[in-house]
């Protein structure tokens, strides 16, 4: 009885172990391939799956995007420049059956294919094109690899060139070329700066000469205007003095003229000359001067009224119009306003000439 009970327990445990060994858990990001006795049964979905124990084999494939590193390799470019290139490939399994049954190891196969394709694509390009057209290389590599790996159930999502490094001698030559290019650009910038500085200096000098010439012209105009007003005032003063003298000489008689003549001769005799020559008889000269000044030989009686205004006219007519300070000030202000207006016109003309020259220089640069 005990032996039968032990046998039943053993059989139950064995059946339980066999059942448990047939349980397979597939993760959400995986797909399982069920192979029993050398034959493919079906694809196992994520979750709990049970297969025949002892005679079944389950292959799990990761369906997530995987990153493959393409090792660095030396490639000879189209212009015979040795260059070290490496890349990264992003792949994803879309058909688990093909990825397992059509290729031994799709990881190794994809990396090997990426190496040969990278060497082929880079070898057909010059070094400068490789350095400046990485996007074109990445797109071309992705298209070629994706088409080739489609038979393996693998999709190439992206290819990225990680590093392009020319060998030592080529790198040194590139550095020298870059240095020479920078020196050339620096020389061009320096020359352009000197050119612009010379142009600005010449324009400033020209503008300064224009302003100096304008200032000299305005100064000469003001000076000439001042001389003109001074001469006018001096001439008016002299004319007024002569008129006043003529007014004062009306009542002079012959005796007074004689006294004045004698006083004049006294002043002449005070000079350093030892001889004084008169071109005519002095009495006649005195008579003519007295007649010219309107002196009368008749001595008026004391208290006799002499009508000066009747003889020579009114004082305003004799002295003439004397400009008032306000009139002189107004005339000077008018002259200054005219000078300011002419200065502004000169500055506008200079600015117009400058803008015309700048437009001409821009057209020459274009």
Average pLDDT, the chain: 78
Q: Using a pLDDT cut of 90, give the percent of the chain over it.
A: 21
Q: Give the mean pLDDT of 144-170.
A: 89
Q: Give the mean pLDDT of 43-63.
A: 88
Q: Go through the domains of the chain in sequence order and give each one's CATH number.
A: 2-62 (no CATH), 66-166 (3.30.479.30), 204-268+280-298+311-362 (no CATH)
pLDDT of residue 267 exceeding 80: no
Q: Give the mean pLDDT of 299-328.
A: 55
Do 62 and 29 meet the contact criterion of CB atoms below 8 Å apart? yes
| Residues 79-106 pLDDT 10s | 888 889 999 999 999 999 999 999 999 9
Segment of 45-59, 256-270, 303-317 carrying the highest mean pLDDT: 45-59
Longest Cα pair distance anywhere in the chain, in angstroms?
201
Name the E strands within the chain: 23-26, 30-36, 39-44, 47-50, 56-62, 66-76, 82-93, 154-166
Q: Which residues contact 359 (CB under 8 A, 6 or more apart)?
A: none
The 8-class DSSP code of residue 297 comes to S
Q: Which residues contact 299 (CB under 8 A, 6 or more apart)?
A: 253, 254, 255
Which of 64-73, 181-190, 298-307, 350-359 bottoms out in mean pLDDT, i.e. has the lowest?
A: 298-307
Determine the pLDDT at residue 156. Answer: 94
Q: Give the mean pLDDT of 325-338.
A: 73
Secondary structure (DSSP) of 74-142: EEE-TTS-EEEEEEEEEEEES-HHHHHHT-S-HHHHHHHHHHHHHHHHHHTS-HHHHHH-HHHHHHHHH
Q: Which tokens go with 278?
A: 């008169």
Determine the pLDDT at residue 61. Answer: 92
Determine the pLDDT at residue 287. Answer: 63
Determine the pLDDT at residue 71. Answer: 92
pLDDT of residue 280 exceeding 60: no
3-class DSSP assignment, residue 278: coil
Determine the pLDDT at residue 115. Answer: 93
How far apart CA 269 and CA 208 sit, in angstroms, is 61
pLDDT of residue 68 exceeding 50: yes
pLDDT of residue 117 exceeding 90: yes
More confident residue, 210 or 70: 70
Determine the pLDDT at residue 153. Answer: 93
pLDDT of residue 303 exceeding 80: no
More confident residue, 25 or 229: 25
Looking up tokens 């389950």, which residue turns up? 58
Do 67 and 92 meet the contact criterion of CB atoms below 8 Å apart? no
Determine the pLDDT at residue 65. Answer: 93
| Residues 221-249 pLDDT 10s | 878 877 877 887 787 777 666 666 665 55
Determine the pLDDT at residue 328. Answer: 65
């Amino acid at each position: 009885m005990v032996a039968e009970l032990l046998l039943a327990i053993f059989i139950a445990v064995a059946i339980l172990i066999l059942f448990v060994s047939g349980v397979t858990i597939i993760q959400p990001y995986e797909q399982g391939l069920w192979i029993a006795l050398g034959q493919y049964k079906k694809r196992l979905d994520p979750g709990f799956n049970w297969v025949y124990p002892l005679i079944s084999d389950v292959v799990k494939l990761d369906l997530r995007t995987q990153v493959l590193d393409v090792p660095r390799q030396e490639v000879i470019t189209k212009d015979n420049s040795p260059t070290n290139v490496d890349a990264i490939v992003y792949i994803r399994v879309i058909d688990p059956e093909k990825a397992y049954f059509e290729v031994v190891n799709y990881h190794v196969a994809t990396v090997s294919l990426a190496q040969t394709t990278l060497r082929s694509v880079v070898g057909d390009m010059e070094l400068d094109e490789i350095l400046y057209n990485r996007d074109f290389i990445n797109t071309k590599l992705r298209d070629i690899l994706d088409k080739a790996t489609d038979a393996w159930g693998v999709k190439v999502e992206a290819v990225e060139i990680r590093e392009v490094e020319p060998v030592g001698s080529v790198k040194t030559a590139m550095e020298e070329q870059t240095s020479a290019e920078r020196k050339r650009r620096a020389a061009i910038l320096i020359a352009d700066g000197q050119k612009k500085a010379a142009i600005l200096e010449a324009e400033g000098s020209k503008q300064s000469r224009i302003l100096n010439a304008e200032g000299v012209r305005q100064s000469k105009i003001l000076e000439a205007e001042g001389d003109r007003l001074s001469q006018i005032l001096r001439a008016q003063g002299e004319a007024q003095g002569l008129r006043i003298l003529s007014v004062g000489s009306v009542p002079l008689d012959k005796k007074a003229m004689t006294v004045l003549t004698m006083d004049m001769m006294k002043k002449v005799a005070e000079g350093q000359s030892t001889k004084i020559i008169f071109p005519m008889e002095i009495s006649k000269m005195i008579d003519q001067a007295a007649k010219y000044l309107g002196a009368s030989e008749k001595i008026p009686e004391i208290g006799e009224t002499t009508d000066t205004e009747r003889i020579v006219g009114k004082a305003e007519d004799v002295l003439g119009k004397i400009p008032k300070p306000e009139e002189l000030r107004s005339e000077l202000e008018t002259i200054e306003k005219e000078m300011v207006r002419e200065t502004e016109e000169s500055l506008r003309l200079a600015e117009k000439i400058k803008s015309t020259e700048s437009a001409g220089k821009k057209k020459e640069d274009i």
